[in-house]
């Protein structure tokens, strides 16, 4: 599948807890085309976050293959995997993980400090990312001076600043009220439709899932039927 951003092939993932082996994913296979927006749903313990972490290179499968952008990330380890993540993936979590002592622009700049970009290039990239999320006028504000929705926008700008092709979102609106959540989900839609970002989002919220192009259901480590979102 040449237009696939993500290809998961017969992936198994298990963890050892004491004397017990807990199998989380059972031979799961999945294709996510470039430019898709997929919502992963399912009960707690179904393997959603595990699958998300595998796709984002935060964890490695016990067996099977994971290709992102045509690269076998299951074969990468250590520093090479960290470099791959920095180049290719932006992460958005339920809790914004912002540095409270830094301004919005400094928080957004953090991923770029690991690159060879000059200070001027970093400033330009940060300004563009904050403009995209509608927070250019809050660049000098610290997290405590921002609303929850604005903090999540800063977190999204941080995920975007290195211009990754893939955005990994784990319950990105789980800590927000409905109105603010819908604004953040609308922003993710814009990033998908107008900026071409491929988005994989875990959510428990059916209303949030409706913003995606497709809804995938996991149950006990296996993928169930696929549905097209109504948004």
Kindly give the confidence (pLDDT) of every residue in the chain, 231 residues in length, as a single tens digit, with 9 standing for 90 and above: 458 899 999 999 998 888 888 888 888 999 999 999 999 998 888 888 999 999 999 889 999 999 999 889 999 888 888 888 888 899 988 887 889 999 999 999 988 887 788 899 999 999 999 998 888 998 999 999 999 889 989 999 999 888 899 999 999 888 788 888 898 899 899 999 999 999 999 999 999 999 999 999 998 888 886 555 544
The pLDDT value recorded for residue 169 is 93
CA within 13 Å, CB half, 198: 20
31-47+78-228: CATH number? 3.40.50.300
Q: How many CA atoms lie within 13 A of 165 on its CB side?
A: 16
Q: In whole angstroms, what is the distance from residue 86 CA to residue 81 CA?
A: 9
Strand partners, 90: 167
Contacts within 8 Å (CB) and 24+ apart, 189-194: 189/37, 189/231, 191/132, 191/156, 191/160, 191/167, 192/35, 192/36, 192/37
How far is the C-alpha of 113 from the C-alpha of 174, rounded, in Å?
Answer: 29
> Strand pairing partners for 25?
13
Mean pLDDT of the chain: 88
Neighbours of 114 (CB within 10 A): 11
The model's pTM: 0.88
């Amino acid at each position: 599948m040449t237009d696939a951003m993500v290809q998961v092939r017969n992936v198994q993932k298990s963890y050892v807890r004491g004397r017990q082996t807990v199998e989380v994913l059972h031979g799961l296979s999945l294709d996510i085309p470039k430019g898709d927006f997929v919502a992963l749903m399912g009960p707690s313990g179904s393997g959603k976050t595990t699958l998300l972490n595998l796709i984002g290179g935060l964890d490695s499968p016990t067996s099977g293959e994971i290709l992102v952008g045509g690269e076998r990330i299951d074969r990468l380890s250590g520093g090479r995997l960290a470099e791959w993540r920095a180049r290719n993936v932006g992460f958005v979590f339920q809790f914004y993980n912002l540095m409270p002592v830094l301004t919005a622009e400094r928080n957004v700049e953090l991923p770029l400090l690991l690159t060879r970009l000059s200070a001027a290039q970093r400033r330009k990239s940060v300004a563009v990312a904050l403009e995209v999320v509608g927070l250019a006028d809050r660049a000098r504000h610290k997290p405590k001076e921002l609303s929850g929705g604005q903090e999540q926008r800063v977190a999204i700008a941080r995920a975007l600043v290195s211009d990754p092709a893939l955005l990994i979102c784990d319950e990105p609106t789980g800590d927000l009220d409905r109105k603010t959540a819908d604004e953040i989900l609308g922003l993710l839609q814009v990033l998908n439709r107008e900026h071409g970002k491929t988005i994989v989002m875990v959510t428990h919220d059916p209303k949030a899932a409706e913003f995606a192009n497709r809804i995938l259901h996991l149950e006990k480590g296996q993928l169930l039927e696929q549905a097209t979102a109504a948004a």
